[in-house]
Amino acid sequence: MDDWEREVADEPNLVRPYILTAGRTDSDVYLPLEAPIETVPAEMPVQWPGTDVRGQILTLCGDHPSVAEIAARLSLPLGVVRVLIGDLVSQGYLRVHATLDDAATLNDRRELIGRTLRGLRAL
């Protein structure tokens, strides 16, 4: 890492959150708050700098966090994170897992409640 890159990485992000989405407030992808998100193995590595929010989201998604957890960890409004995740899903970098359907077991439901509580505590 060059000296100028270290200096930039140490500076606080002064960008308004909705600038990150070009003012968009809705995603084309259905993203429930509790939906686990995972990265999709990419053929070519992503070239975003470490301070780019998209790169930070991709890094977080290695642990399959929920949409709410990602917003909390990045300290960004939920609407902004939903738009960014939706963009990354549309571009093929992320995958959204379904939460529950009628065939969900009791253990599935408990796991969902646990993930939701972890996300709420992180907020």
Residue 91 has pLDDT above 60, yes or no: yes
Q: Is the per-residue pLDDT at 12 higher than 70? A: no
pLDDT in tens, 21-70: 777 777 888 888 888 899 998 777 777 776 788 989 998 988 889 888 89
Q: What is the mean pLDDT of the chain?
A: 79
What angle, 0 to 180 degrees and rounded to 10, lies between the N-to-C axes of helices 67-74 and 106-122? Answer: 20
What would the two tokens of residue 27 be?
């995603």
Kindly state the DSSP code that residue 39 receives in the 8-state scheme.
E
Answering whether pTM is above 0.85, one says no
Chain center to CA of 14: 20
pLDDT greater at residue 119 or residue 32: 32
